[in-house]
Chain A
Amino acid sequence: MGNVCKTIYGVSGARALAAGLPGMILALALLPGGGATWMRGADMPVKNASDFSSVEYYDPPYQMQIKSRLAGAQAVPQADGRVLIQQLKLEIFETNGRPKYVVEAPECLYDQIKGTANSAGRMEVRQADGQFRLTGVGFEWRQEDEFLILTNQVETDILTGTNLTIIP
């Protein structure tokens, strides 16, 4: 990315609040030569964008800390108001700014109103410090309570290190 964030995503403040996303700013950083195109989806005009990111901040007293950063290679608005995100990368941070999780999926449908993302495809969650990795096929992620439902082929790898001891 590294391009100038050019516009604010087409979500009204009221909608954002209704979705439980206060402080949500969805900025579209456009690829060189890749212009944003206005599209009409349901009653909400949104943009078809490339290489975008969205940042959500914690509620007070941590309002200066980023809670999550959602990024994707492309966002395509759907007729039902959801957005098809390709090459999703979601980073979640602790209130002290420390990275917590990284979530990646080839694509998913993001519902701005409900604050959910889902896909029938593959996804991966990694703890930022690399201690574990969780993958699955088919998922729904609820933003408000940070809850992930995986439907098939759930696999978790936990690094045990070379000095595994029963009693630390």
Chain B
Amino acid sequence: MNYFYLLLVAGLVAGGRLAAAATNEPPKLSIHSDHGGTFDMAHYRTIYHGHVTVEDPRMHLTSAWLAADLPHNNNPDRQVVAATNVVMTFIDDKGLTNHATSDRAVYNYHEAGAVTNATITLSGHAKLWTDKINLAGEPLVWDLVKQELSSTNWTTTFSHDFINLNSTNTATSRTNHVPPHP
């Protein structure tokens, strides 16, 4: 099933284990907003304002604004947009804590025939880091289908160690090369 739009950040934990639920409750993702929001029931879209937090067993996200397409059976396409002071923390498959910040984060999932596109785009002071590596680019684009991380304008470098933190997140050498600084 196409659950994935569920969160842009889940892409960042591609390959991550599903946390084994200690209870019998089904796994869920929770979005909370202190300041309210809107729900377009006809188009399955929610918008959250104020201090928005997103939680699931593997990640934590905060932003000032977030719009999400809620699941429905008629349309597999999904988009989640988090904007303003986007901060994400997630635990990868090896138990390593990863962080990401940006002004804006967009998850897009689109199906057209047999072709599936799924990306997460971080833009506006986008950064990804662990305790071992820092990465910045404008924008940073994670192709979830190709498992490639790319940017048209790297502002720092990263090592294979970073890309291979997660065994399923193997980037190709093409996307992992360091372009010359202008």
Contact = CB atoms under 8 A, between A and B. Distances in A.
Partners in one complex: yes
A72 interface: no
Q: Which 5 A-B pairs have the closest CB atoms?
A: A146-B41, A148-B39, A156-B31, A154-B33, A168-B2
A161 B27 contact: yes
B129 to A, nearest CB: 21
A149 B46 CA distance: 10
Interface stretch (A42-50, A51-59, A113-121, A130-138): A130-138
B1 A158 contact: no
A164 B10 contact: yes
A131 B37 CA distance: 19
Contacts of A134: 39, 46
B2 to A, nearest CB: 4
A101 B42 CA distance: 10
Given A146-B41, A154-B31, A166-B144, 11 more contacts: A125-B39, A127-B71, A131-B72, A138-B36, A147-B40, A148-B38, A149-B36, A165-B4, A166-B118, A167-B4, A168-B116
Contacts of B36: 136, 138, 149-152, 154
Given A166-B14, A168-B1, A154 B48 contact: yes
B35 A152 contact: yes
Nearest to B27: A160
Interface residues of B, number: 40
A104 to B, nearest CB: 14
Interface in A25-55: none
29 contacts: A127-B71, A127-B72, A129-B73, A134-B39, A145-B42, A151-B36, A152-B34, A152-B36, A153-B34, A154-B37, A155-B33, A156-B30, A156-B32, A158-B70, A158-B71, A159-B26, A160-B27, A160-B28, A160-B56, A161-B3, A161-B26, A162-B18, A162-B26, A164-B18, A166-B118, A167-B4, A167-B144, A168-B2, A168-B4
A92 interface: yes
Given A147-B38, A149-B38, A154-B32, A164 B72 contact: no
A152 B35 CA distance: 5
B42 to A, nearest CB: 4
Interface of B: 1-4, 6, 10-11, 14-15, 18, 26-42, 46, 48, 56, 68, 70-73, 76, 116, 118, 144-145
Given A127-B71, A147-B41, A150-B39, A157 B28 contact: yes
Interface residues of A, number: 35
B4 A164 contact: yes
Contacts of A147: 38-42
A163 interface: yes
B39 A167 contact: no
Contact of A166 (B4, B31, B41): B4
B162 to A, nearest CB: 18
Contacts of A153: 32-34
Given A149-B38, A166-B118, A157 B29 contact: yes
A146 B45 CA distance: 11
A150 B27 CA distance: 25
